[in-house]
Structure 1
Amino acid sequence: MTTTRTTRLRRPLIAGTTAIAAIAAVTVTAGFAATASDSAKAAAAGPDLRLIAASSSITLTSWKEDPGVYLDLGTYLTAEGTPLELKVTRKSYRDPVTITQTVYEGGKARAKALPNGTVKDFSGLPGFAEITVTDKAGKQVLRRAESFCPNNASGRVRPDAPATSKYPESCPTNPFTLGSVWGVEKGWAANTYAGSYTRPVELAAGTYTAKVSVAKKYRDLFGIANRPATVKVTVQERSFEDGRGAAARTAGSGEHAGHGAAHPAPSAAGAAHAGHGPGHAPTPAQAAAAVTSGAGPSYNVGHGPLKAAPPALPWALKKQQTARSARVGDTEGQTDGSRKAPALGPLAKRPAGKPSVPNVPKPDLRSLPAYGITISDGGEDVPGKDYLAFSANVWNAGPAQLVVDGFRSPGKATMDAYQYFYDAKGKQVGYTPTGTMEWDPRPGHMHWHFTDFASYRLLKADKKETVRSGKEAFCLANTDAVDYTVKNANWHPFNTDLATACGQENSISVREVLDVGSGDTYTQDLPGQSFDITSLPNGTYYIQVLANPENRLKETSTANNSALRKVVLGGKPGKRTVTVPAHELVNAN
């Protein structure tokens, strides 16, 4: 895989959420309610899974300035009797991805291995939904298959179902994910729409009939009845110039009950702020998919996993986002204009007494190989200047959280940082000083950074250092679900919102947490963070990601803190190239 010089590194990060409206009514009227015998049968093995449509008709919009529609047809997979629970893992990057299903026999859960090759990555069940679209004359105009992530946008189908789903949101997209848990809670339904993983289709304005089926191999695997869902589709063409564009869509998405105060619909300016600026991977200019039924869009940021059905931006807002993409990022109390999240609270005062490191579970920081590697000019229009930009992730394999508080003395520009330790009951039983935190005032940051969390180095072919990144201070946040199958993994980490995870300029104290199973990705695409390769000869190099470089943090093991990714530099000054070979079985960048 070879890439050439680009102006700035951009990786797709748009994320959104949806809520389900009127699924329960559809379930009953369609005659899909599970019977007592069905539930008893499901309890003895796997769940009773059924495909339903939330509505018999739906309207999709194609924008004149950006033709194409996303096939969010409002079809869902319901689970009754027991949840649908799948665990997807790989032992190492030398091993293939495998999948097991949790089934129940005699009230006891056991893991049932599914056939080899069922999945190849962690993005969902490939080819699960088969979609055909016919026009008014009955002529087939489209046939396609889409993956299904059981962690897609979901909701209850009956009032006595569990109030919340225990399963994570979305399926991981990080190429170096190690373990994931997918599930549809009992009495819930998950949208079959592939969202960020799909592409728009060209359909002229008019009426169509869409038929959605579950592929035969999955019907056989999970015992799903062959009952396709049929939906009447109306495609309408609009233009932003007709006055019904962004304003109409924004107003409509903000009217859904239950999300008004907590998740206000983004304004034209807010919708453009859909990601992080320098330091965390920024959002691309293009939108990902159409708004689904339910709540207005909200976003997660950083380099986190993509959710099921991100909202599309009207053409005019895409243009605004393109123009502003270099300066979007964190602002005080928010990330992208769509929602606010409370910060984790530190202790009321700095710890007292003698520091101690007790014999209790500790975090285990591990580095993933670098990815998203490309040649960049670092944002500076200087002919002949070349930088090697990349993304890097450090994650926590547990079994304990990494918890660090920073405390600021009056008038000081830095905070003193302390790491805390907890017993099995969650009681704090020790602490130790662990460096400092510093305020970063640059656009796209504007929060407190914990120093010496990780270090990035470019090594020569003999693995001796040749260039070091200046980035060694971080705002910790749970941006990526790296392995949710490890002991004590938290499937619903709290501080995924970077803007409020790391305090404000006038903060007197800050708490930063890296939860078990989650990692924090930073993209190094600015001078001082990326590697200056202008004067380096062509040849083989290694990007080293090193966690806890000064060993200030106390952890389970430091033997797994380093990860290397091989790269091969080529080209000429001002037109450098980089080739990124596969890392064992992971052929992705």
Structure 2
Amino acid sequence: MSTRTPRSRLWRPALAAAAAIAVTAGVTAASPDTGKASSVPRLGLVAASASVTLDSWKEDPGVYLDLGTYLTASGAPLELRVTRKSYKDPVVATQIIREGKKTRTKALPADLVKNFAGLPDFVRITVRDAAGKSVVSRTEPFCPNNASGRVQPDAPATSKYPESCPTNPFTLGSVWGVENGWASNTYAGYYAEPVVLPAGKYTAEVAVTQRYRDLFGIADEPKTVKVTVRERSWEEESTASAPATRSATGHAAHAAGHAGHAAARPPAPASATTGAGTSYNVGHGPYPPAPAAVPWAAERVGFRSAQGDGPGRTDGSRQAPAAGPNAQRPTGRASVPDVPKPDLRSLPAYGITIGEGDAGAPDRDYLAFSANVWNAGPAQLVVDGFRKPGNELMDAYQYFYDASGKQVGYTPTGTMEWDPRPGHEHWHFTDFASYRLLKADRKETVRSGKEAFCLANTDAVDYTVKNANWHPDNTDLSTACGQENSISVREVLDVGSGDTYTQDLPGQSFDITGLPNGTYYIQVLANPENRLKETDLGNNSALRKVVLGGKPGARTVKVPKHDLVDAP
């Protein structure tokens, strides 16, 4: 029997091994043999435990159906490439089948996937009460990159596939997979909705839906799990338990998701045994987990008040590990060698809303938005900053590497500055991106004050490009935004990943007070001064059309679709 306690989405499993232990303990005997070579994976549904206990909180009733069911792959990995040629083209999925040194592909049905969040309607969950009456019947999506673990001792020690499925509306390419001899949790995690179930005994049945059984040759073998729902109280347990002694795997984790808020449901629960929490590629080694970047300006204020900045976090939305730069500033003659370089590209703005003024300017209107600049490769963007003692600026240098990873050149590329403002308190690279509001004739009318950045790999924008790093949090060239007393820092944007910033604060968002109603364009411009050396400077700009309306103090904004992408 296992117990499921809702946890905040801020929690991330320390290691996939934790999930592996839980899965292996319950399903090794049921898993197909991985010893025989096969070009097509044999997939099966298994349940790690015959029974689970789910908690419903008195202040916010409802349970998440984390039932401990997994999809296993044996004989070969399940690997899917999900792409779109452009935002004018639909999202398509292709299965990759490897036969020795040869690779063949199998196109999945054109209408199968609509976005990059996973396979829709993959499992059907039916819950019956003690009298046998059906009280829940619904389908849930499945992200093959969910928390996973080995189920066979001869399986690869680590999975090569990324963690989690991307949710950025302008994602271009993703890789999904279940490693050979591994199992991936079918629990939808971040995408799941809670169901209201009174305390009591239930029976849950989990089955792969027929479309996927036919598509992947999965046996029609539903799994049954006994469910106990128990009611608990956040307020009562918070009063009864001292913070210093409260278990990190108990209700303290739930309460941590509510810092700065009244009792409210954490957005994404996960249990220590499943490791199904959303990671968004932001976890780094032993450091405390950081939440994913919040790409919706309307949610940003509450999220920031709950988290804020702190050791290992920047902007409350990303984690900065302690990977250091070179020990000293480069010597010798600067040069830009003929080796692969990064290719910075901008995504169209999204999460666009009308923002409110702060206490100092309550009568002003602001246009808030989220913006992402990503690296299409084929090389990482690596920038080191070196401080002159007593100076509030660092000299920044871009580094270049050959195919073997050896540093072969560098060039000066602007500065890094210390940002002492509450909610920041880290070093910003000053020449990374610029945000501008253009009139209908594409001429600039307002420029965002945000032009310095702490770089981090917050979004998997396209993991199908050449040299994409599917595990950017494991690379030895990691982002570190430093502290006030830092003598040097390193900031990195890995291949395939992008960095999202949400501009919702006065000085960052656009001040539209006094602007006439009408059509405008938000421009996201990477490398605005062309100081960074990259493969192509012609793809650094992206525009998003907006239509302003309303009246002072009650402005409105309409955001038309961007080709096929309907994400205001």
TM-score, length basis structure 2: 0.88
Moved more, 12-21 or 561-570: 12-21
Partner of 2:48: 54
Aligned residues: 543
Q: How does 1:362-377 map to 2 (within 5 A)?
A: 362-377=341-356
2: distance between equivalents of 1:67 and 1:327?
Answer: 22
Partner of 2:491: 512
Gaps of 5+ in 2: 1-7, 284-288, 292-299
1: distance between equivalents of 2:397 and 2:240?
Answer: 47
1:432 partnered with 2:428: no
Q: What are the superposed Cα offsets for residues 274-302 of structure 1, whole Å, 9 maximum, x if unpaired? A: 9xxxxxxx9x9751233324288988689
2: distance between equivalents of 1:531 and 1:217?
Answer: 47
Match of residue 419, structure 1, among 384, 389, 398: 398
Give the CA deviation at 1:328. 3.0
Q: What are the superposed Cα offsets for residues 237-267 of structure 1, whole Å, 9 maximum, x if unpaired? A: 11124327895999786469xxxxxxxx976
Match of residue 538, structure 2, among 559, 566, 588: 559
Q: How does 1:84-123 map to 2 (within 5 A)?
A: 84-105=78-99, 108-123=102-117
Match of residue 549, structure 2, among 570, 577, 582: 570
Match of residue 459, structure 2, among 480, 492, 496: 480
Moved more, 290-299 or 209-218: 290-299
Q: 1:420 to 1:127 in 2, by over 3 A?
A: same
Q: What are the superposed Cα offsets for residues 463-504 of structure 1, whole Å, 9 maximum, x if unpaired? A: 11100001100001100000000000000003899x972111
1:27 partnered with 2:21: no
Q: 1:145 to 1:95 in 2, by over 3 A?
A: same
The residue identity in structure 2 corresponding to 1:424 is A
Match of residue 168, structure 1, among 148, 162, 177: 162
Moved more, 427-436 or 487-496: 487-496
Partner of 1:16: 12
Whether the aligned pair in 2 keeps the contact of 1:273 and 1:329 (CA below 8 Å) is no
Give the CA deviation at 1:338. 13
Give the CA deviation at 1:273. 6.4
Give the CA deviation at 1:16. 3.3
Whether the aligned pair in 1 keeps the contact of 2:318 and 2:458 (CA below 8 Å) is no
Q: 1:285 to 1:370 in 2, by over 3 A?
A: farther
Q: What are the superposed Cα offsets for residues 142-186 of structure 1, whole Å, 9 maximum, x if unpaired? A: 100000000001111122221111111000000000000001111
Task: Provide the secondary structure at the position in 2 that maps to 1:494.
Answer: helix
2: distance between equivalents of 1:406 and 1:480?
Answer: 24
Task: Provide the secondary structure at the position in 2 that maps to 1:376.
Answer: strand
Task: Provide the secondary structure at the position in 2 that maps to 1:219.
Answer: helix
Task: Provide the secondary structure at the position in 2 that maps to 1:288.
Answer: coil
Q: What are the superposed Cα offsets for residues 322-361 of structure 1, whole Å, 9 maximum, x if unpaired? A: 9884373221345699998632221111111111111111
Q: How does 1:7-406 map to 2 (within 5 A)?
A: 14=10, 16-17=12-13, 19-20=18-19, 21-29=21-29, 31-34=30-33, 39-40=36-37, 43-44=38-39, 46-105=40-99, 108-243=102-237, 254=248, 271-272=257-258, 286-294=265-273, 325-326=304-305, 328-334=307-313, 342-380=321-359, 382-406=361-385
Give the CA deviation at 1:104. 2.6
Q: 1:421 to 1:340 in 2, by over 3 A?
A: closer
Partner of 1:318: none
Partner of 1:455: 434
2: distance between equivalents of 1:253 and 1:112?
Answer: 47
Match of residue 562, structure 2, among 569, 583, 587: 583
2: distance between equivalents of 1:246 and 1:52?
Answer: 38
The residue identity in structure 2 corresponding to 1:62 is S
Partner of 2:386: 407
Task: Provide the secondary structure at the position in 2 that maps to 1:326.
Answer: helix
TM-score, length basis structure 1: 0.85
2: distance between equivalents of 1:154 and 1:584?
Answer: 35
2: distance between equivalents of 1:322 and 1:422?
Answer: 40
Whether the aligned pair in 1 keeps the contact of 2:59 and 2:264 (CA below 8 Å) is no
2: distance between equivalents of 1:13 and 1:435?
Answer: 37
Q: What are the superposed Cα offsets for residues 357-404 of structure 1, whole Å, 9 maximum, x if unpaired? A: 111110000000000000011433755421000000000000000000
Q: What are the superposed Cα offsets for residues 392-426 of structure 1, whole Å, 9 maximum, x if unpaired? A: 00000000000000011112110000001111111
RMSD of aligned C-alpha atoms? Answer: 3.3
The residue identity in structure 1 corresponding to 2:152 is R
Q: 1:363 to 1:436 in 2, by over 3 A?
A: same
Moved more, 231-240 or 122-131: 231-240
1: distance between equivalents of 2:230 and 2:315?
Answer: 29
Give the CA deviation at 1:271. 4.5
Gaps of 5+ in 1: 1-11, 257-264, 275-281, 305-309, 313-320
2: distance between equivalents of 1:230 and 1:131?
Answer: 10
Give the CA deviation at 1:75. 0.5
The residue identity in structure 2 corresponding to 1:24 is T
Task: Provide the secondary structure at the position in 2 that maps to 1:211.
Answer: strand
Partner of 1:533: 512
1:545 partnered with 2:524: yes
1: distance between equivalents of 2:93 and 2:278?
Answer: 29
Q: 1:302 to 1:77 in 2, by over 3 A?
A: closer
Whether the aligned pair in 1 keeps the contact of 2:308 and 2:316 (CA below 8 Å) is no
2: distance between equivalents of 1:295 and 1:35?
Answer: 22
1: distance between equivalents of 2:281 and 2:150?
Answer: 29
Q: What are the superposed Cα offsets for residues 87-133 of structure 1, whole Å, 9 maximum, x if unpaired? A: 10000000000111111335522222111111010000000011111
Whether the aligned pair in 2 keeps the contact of 1:135 and 1:141 (CA below 8 Å) is yes
Whether the aligned pair in 1 keeps the contact of 2:189 and 2:278 (CA below 8 Å) is no
Q: 1:35 to 1:159 in 2, by over 3 A?
A: closer
Task: Provide the secondary structure at the position in 2 that maps to 1:504.
Answer: coil
Task: Provide the secondary structure at the position in 1 that maps to 2:213.
Answer: helix
2: distance between equivalents of 1:322 and 1:62?
Answer: 27
Whether the aligned pair in 2 keeps the contact of 1:79 and 1:188 (CA below 8 Å) is yes
Task: Provide the secondary structure at the position in 1 that maps to 2:305.
Answer: coil
Partner of 2:423: 444
Q: 1:331 to 1:510 in 2, by over 3 A?
A: same
Task: Provide the secondary structure at the position in 2 that maps to 1:22.
Answer: helix
Q: 1:325 to 1:447 in 2, by over 3 A?
A: closer
Task: Provide the secondary structure at the position in 1 that maps to 2:307.
Answer: coil
Q: 1:533 to 1:122 in 2, by over 3 A?
A: same
Q: 1:106 to 1:326 in 2, by over 3 A?
A: closer
